[in-house]
Amino acid sequence: MSLPLMPKAVAVWLVDNTSLSFDQIAEFTGLHSLEISGIADGEVAQGLKGRDPIATGELTRETIAKCEADPKARLRLVPRVKMPEVTRKGPKYTPLSKRQERPAAILWLIRNHPELTDAQISRLVGTTKPTIQSLREKTHWNYVNINPVDPVALGMCRQTELDAAVAKSAPKREAMEEQARPEGALLSTEETLGEPMVNDEGDPIRERDDSGRAPDDFFNLPKGGEEEAEEEETI
């Protein structure tokens, strides 16, 4: 059960301003009924100013009146209204204290995720397209002194935001890697195993089924092969 803010101060207000039972106040504030009794006797929370839960929106007058009329009824905290998350449009704002670190984050993104567009980088670290282009083309005035740093480590974006941008640009990265591969380059093991074997005419090569042959069959030459071998020794 959720408790009100400053429960002891709320308990002081309820004791002074309502006829609720000690048990009702104790359950609502999370305090012990004996502590509520001590507040009523003036032995506990002396000098503590009461906090009005009605003014703060944690209780309503109707709820208090209902519980005063029925000792078995229990107070319920009014649920706090959850404010909707505001979606950001345009470049992300970067604090002044971190703007000097922004080129390092941009350079890290360019080197590790070249598939990201200028617009995606701009949204992640809050920069402008001219700055990104100057770092891509290595014309930035301080390029030689910039060391790439992960923008997540710098606190400029969340890991989930970066992962979402990278996942969205994954097809573009695969296309870039395919174009960057030189002609005649060896394929990876995964690519080699994934493609069927073909002959010179382009027809698929069927694998021979040797599952029913004995191991000695692979080492014994056929009779024709033995005769040819003997003829070669005679010559």
Q: What is the distance between the alpha carbons of residues 52 and 10, in angstroms, rounded to a whole number? A: 6
Token digits for 49?
């100013």
Q: Where are the domains of the chain?
A: 7-69, 96-176
In this structure, which amino acid lies at residue 59? L
Q: What is the distance between the alpha carbons of residues 172 and 58, in angstroms, rounded to a whole number? A: 52
Enumerate residues 6+ apart whose C-beta is below 8 A from 37. Answer: 22
Which residue in the block uniquely carries the two structure tokens 């870039």?
176
The one-digit pLDDT tens for each residue of the chain (235 residues) are 578 888 888 999 998 899 899 999 989 888 888 888 888 888 887 778 888 988 888 888 999 999 989 988 888 888 765 555 555 555 555 565 566 788 999 999 999 988 899 999 999 988 889 999 999 999 998 889 999 999 888 888 889 999 999 888 888 777 766 666 566 555 555 555 555 555 666 566 555 555 666 666 656 555 554 555 455 555 5
